[in-house]
Structure 1
Amino acid sequence: MLKYISLLFIVSAILFTSCGSVPVTGRKQMLLVSDQEVLTSSLKQYGEFIQSAPISTDKKNTELVNKVGRNIANAVEAYLKKNGLEKEVSQFSWEFNLVKSNEVNAFCMPGGKIVVYEGILAYTKDETGLAVIIGHEVAHAVAKHANERMSQQTAANYGSTALSAVLGGSSEITKTVASTAFGLGTQYGLLLPYSRKHELEADELGLIFMAMAGYDPRAAVGFWERMSEKSGSNTSEFSSTHPSDAKRIKEIKEALPNALKYYNGGVGTGTTNTKNTKDAKTSEKWKF
């Protein structure tokens, strides 16, 4: 029994070693990996991707992606600065690229590197719809979801190592069974649910960020309904890193009243309606 208590103590100590909080929502998060480590790794991968990716030659849509991205990034930076949180993005170097591909996707790399695939433009439809996507990806970056995911994996690795040490005197069969159970428990109890949580949090923050930039967040409902019609997926949430379309749309609708407090009624103005915003100090898929 003492062995298991020791294991619990070790893992718990790891989980509470380093904590941070997500801007605007205030959610506490575990950050065991430094921003510099994450950025160094991600920038290398991003550079390799951009060198090999077929960058879009569609000038109009490329300019639109950059316009929407800059509007949202500027609005978010202005908000963070106003609330004394500018250090959260001090190492960011925003970059928005449109890739020539029919894939319906977009992704974000730490440090503000965002890529949109041409295929998703059929579902965004217009500038405001594109703001839904880019706001979501900017949210992943600002909330440091990549850092958190890496930290979770680090904690899982530490936990597995600690488990092996604690079970040192057990039979090989016991070790194997215990390690397997721990691995499954970590995967389905920690890593995958957190990924779904990140997606929903990015949806919520994305609504707020697009609203800060003057884009109507209510457009998110129509976008995700179109995405849902495309996918027609019945994938179980238990083994998926993404929430179901129905849950996503439901939670977006629930988050809209708060997001609309940040909306100034303009379109792509890059300004922020701060009259009804919450104090960031008291509140806080990678791919689709």
Structure 2
Amino acid sequence: MNAAAALFAGLLFACGMAGAQVPESGRVQELSFSAEEVASTVEDRYIDRMVELAAAGRLDDDRALLARLQTIGAGLIRAAVALKPEAVAWQWEFHTTSDTDVDAICMAGGKILVGSAFVRQLALNDGELATLLAHEIAHAVAEHHRETLSEALFLNRYPAVPLEVVMERLESDVSVQIRLSKLSSLQESEADQLGMVLAHRAGWPAADMVSFYRKLSDGDQLALVAGAYPASASRLSMAKGMALLFQSSR
């Protein structure tokens, strides 16, 4: 460790933060909460969401899609574990929902929920569905949820409050969400690129990855390309560039 790196690590320690790096990109993250603490807190909300969807008859009601997710996801998880070995201990789960407000969601620790209406609307083949799943898995591998909560704590100079309180404030305070928009956009771009790396390592063709982002670009009114997501044209350009890199590395 050089002097500058040692000084940076010391400052993080003094501030009660842990330094981490995003796989592949190497981007340094400042994390205030432990992975275990975040996973435990998020799991409670995840269970509540699953119970709510199940009670409404909207959880895993597309059995064929669920089987596709589980089969495709298994290979992607193996690729994720190769990049982040600790992910082998996570309780990975894939679920579907007919709730039309859901496109695809990933919670800390590898809990992934995919909207069946979204998949049908884009008419995703297996390679394109793998690209969607890989994007969500990339969020988990990069621990973006943990980073967002840590940044919310830092931006608001919250005192030593429980993580649950920080999460509630983040969800209810629009001003905080706006201040975190730049980080959110960065994370989405990162998940696009890291997700393509995962899909490539899992053996999915680059042409399907480009096709997925082309479909998003063609239907940019869809929720997945709104809000914090980069412009759909930029995402398609990124996908084409990554595909060329994969081809040149053969």
Match status 1:244 vs 2:231: yes
CA distance in 2, matches of 1:151, 1:99: 29
Report matched runs for 1:248-259 at 5 Å. Answer: 248-259=235-246
Q: Kindly tell me the number of residue pairs found equivalent between the two proteins.
A: 218
Instruction: State the partner residue of 2:162.
Output: none
For the pair shown, the structure with the greater C-alpha radius of gyration is 1
- CA RMSD in angstroms, aligned pairs only: 2.8
Instruction: State the partner residue of 2:78.
Output: 74
CA contact (8 A) 1:208 1:260 kept: no
Instruction: State the partner residue of 1:7.
Output: none
How big is each residue's C-alpha offset from its partner over 1:145-190, in whole Å with a ceiling of 9 and x where there is no partner?
A: 00010011011011x78xxxxxxxxxxxxxxxxxxxxx97x765x5
Secondary structure at 1:218's aligned position in 2?
helix
Match status 1:132 vs 2:131: yes
Question: Where do 5+ consecutive residues of structure 2 fail to align?
Answer: 1-10, 160-173
Report matched runs for 1:84-95 at 5 Å. Answer: 85-87=84-86, 89-95=87-93
Match status 1:201 vs 2:190: yes
CA distance in 2, matches of 1:244, 1:73: 28
Counterpart of 1:193 in structure 2: which amino acid?
K
Shift of 1:104: 5.8
Instruction: State the partner residue of 2:199.
Output: 210
Match status 1:58 vs 2:62: yes
Question: Cα gap change, 1:230/1:43 in structure 2, threshold over 3 Å: closer, same or farther?
Answer: same
TM-score relative to the length of structure 2: 0.77
CA distance in 1, matches of 2:107, 2:248: 28
Stretch moving more, 15-24 or 135-144 = 15-24
Question: Cα gap change, 1:12/1:214 in structure 2, threshold over 3 Å: closer, same or farther?
Answer: closer
CA contact (8 A) 2:188 2:229 kept: yes
CA contact (8 A) 2:131 2:195 kept: yes
CA distance in 2, matches of 1:204, 1:229: 20
CA distance in 2, matches of 1:261, 1:49: 43
CA distance in 2, matches of 1:261, 1:22: 24
Secondary structure at 2:60's aligned position in 1?
coil
Counterpart among 105, 129, 153 of residue 103 in structure 2: 105
Secondary structure at 2:20's aligned position in 1?
strand
Secondary structure at 1:93's aligned position in 2?
coil
Shift of 1:97: 0.5
Shift of 1:261: 6.9
Report matched runs for 1:139-288 at 5 Å. Answer: 139-158=138-157, 191-232=180-221, 240-260=227-247
Instruction: State the partner residue of 1:178.
Output: none
CA distance in 2, matches of 1:97, 1:216: 24
Greater relative CO (CA pairs within 8 A, separation 6+) = 1
Secondary structure at 2:180's aligned position in 1?
helix
Instruction: State the partner residue of 2:4.
Output: none
Percent identity of the aligned residues? 26
Question: Cα gap change, 1:149/1:250 in structure 2, threshold over 3 Å: closer, same or farther?
Answer: same
CA distance in 1, matches of 2:63, 2:221: 32
Question: Where do 5+ consecutive residues of structure 1 fail to align?
Answer: 1-10, 162-182, 263-275, 277-288
How big is each residue's C-alpha offset from its partner over 1:94-129, in whole Å with a ceiling of 9 and x where there is no partner?
A: 100111233460000000000111012121521111
Counterpart of 1:101 in structure 2: which amino acid?
D
